[in-house]
Amino acid sequence: MSHMDINSLFAIVSIIIYAFLAVRHWGDANAKSSGGRDHALALMAISLHWWINIQATIVDGGYLLSFTNTGGIVAAFVASMVYTASLRHPINSLASPTYAIAALIVLVILINPFPTPQAGLMQGGLLSHVVLSLLGYATLTMAAIHSLALAMQEQRLKARQTSRLLRFLPPLQTMEKLLFQIIWAGEILLTTGILSGVIFLEDIFAQHLVHKTVLSLVAWSIFAALLWGRHVLGWRGNTAVKLTLTGFVVLMLAFFGSKLVMEVILQR
């Protein structure tokens, strides 16, 4: 079996497992009761996902951080964090959408519908900037997913509706506490990513970087304001959810906006 065939097989297996786990965690309120098998399957899917990312990203002695590959790395980071957190906390509300998105992104990597740019070489400092930035983005992506689950939970509780979702979510206060813990972690990683860019990039406001830098700083400011508002003014509920999702959208534009335009639309 050729190298490409092995990668395709691994991608298909990862997609199937991810899809199974997404449906299982969404449709079964008692999924956490049989966590051993689910954890083993999740670990297998994530491991295969990382293998696919490595094979697609490290080519010709350089790093191919294309639109598709970057999305795959972020999805794998998020899936890894959700898996790690699930070993200690009942967070099926995060697992279902996370694994569903991961399955979709691995499918995109398998099909590879977008033009492939040329691989570029990165020194250690620049590589650390990229990794820290991707970690920050992945963590705040996890916060966005969690905030959606929190919004659904609060809406159902206010309407006094019982649902399968409510039966396997932690209490509302625990969900809020976990959300802000994730945001703190993401903001710290995003801060280090921005600072490493200042150190290792010649000019973070260069023409091809200015929109990414500005949008990243705007997103950083939104999350910083949210954390300040939580600590000083006690912000919670809809305010926390709206600001989390706003910051995430801005950060998504910063990370993927230019890649989408340059690689997919303009095909450069």
Cβ atoms < 10 Å from Cβ of 139: 22
Q: How confident is the model at residue 29 (pLDDT cuts 50, 70, 90)?
A: very low
What is the percent of the chain with per-residue pLDDT over 90, rounded to a whole number? 29
What is residue 57's predicted lDDT score, i.e. its pLDDT? 83
pLDDT greater than 80 at residue 253: yes
Average pLDDT, the chain: 81
Model confidence pLDDT, tens digit, residues 3-14: 568 888 999 999
Global pTM value: 0.78
Model confidence pLDDT, tens digit, residues 167-205: 656 677 878 888 899 999 999 999 998 898 888 776 666
Model confidence pLDDT, tens digit, residues 55-68: 888 877 677 777 78
What is residue 6's predicted lDDT score, i.e. its pLDDT? 85
